[in-house]
Amino acid sequence: MEKDIKRYIEAILFAADSPVSLSLFKKVLGIDSIVTIRNAIEELNNDYIEHSFEIRQVAKGYRIYTKPEYSDIIRKMKKDRDLPNLSTSSLETLAIIAYKQPITKNEIEHIRGVSSDGVLKTLLSRDLIKVLGKSDLPGKPMLYGTTNHFLEYFGLKNLEEVKTIAKEIWDEFEEENKKIFG
């Protein structure tokens, strides 16, 4: 089986409908070594250099994705099947939750300056956020945070990537403002 591990991993990834964790690979393949599995995934990605797809680590697991240079053609193909795009207010709220979680509805509304009831319902129904629990504040307001589906939807490995991306965007914004305003 050791020499076929790459083919087994490939088959599992093609059949999976969500990211496959290392622990699931270990269980299904009967392999104790995470290093062996990671090495096989790396070898598969090397095999895929000339292909239109690759294996990416996302949402605490691995998944096969189309390479970014093929996104336009895939977007055309999937246009009719995709969920509607997120609105600007949904993306704004989602960004706040991802960056500040756990966070209450009042805190979100304070940052945004508008009511967030409808947006929170939409994000909950699309499984991009979830209720993490209740705050110790008076009235015990609900605390919101992102889901693994959020990470998968945006192709992120973990929440630290959100903070890294946010910092890069902020740094670019500050650079542009320096150029404009001196």
Ranges of each domain in the chain: 2-71, 88-181
Query: What pLDDT, on a 0 to 100 scale, did the predictor assign at position 47?
Result: 94
Instruction: Select from 57, 60, 63, 8 the least CA-distant residue to 31.
Output: 8
Whether 2-71 and 88-181 share one fold: the answer is yes
Let me know how long the chain is.
182
pLDDT at res. 182: 65
Kindly list the distances between the CA atom of residue 93 and the CA atoms of 1, 2, 85, 136, in Å, as whole numbers in the listed order.
47, 47, 14, 22
* pLDDT recorded at residue 123: 95
Highest CATH level, class, for 2-71: mainly alpha
Task: Find the radius of gyration of the CA atoms of the chain.
Answer: 20
In sequence order, what are the residues at sequence separation of 6 or more whose Cβ sits closer than 8 angstroms to the Cβ of residue 104? 135, 137, 141, 142, 143, 144
The architecture of the domain spanning 88-181 is: Orthogonal Bundle (1.10)
Residue by residue, pLDDT tens for the chain (182 residues) are 456 899 999 999 999 988 999 999 999 999 988 999 999 999 999 999 999 999 999 888 999 998 989 888 887 776 655 556 788 888 889 988 988 899 999 999 998 889 999 999 999 999 999 999 999 999 999 999 999 888 888 888 888 888 787 777 767 767 776 777 76
pLDDT at 154: 83
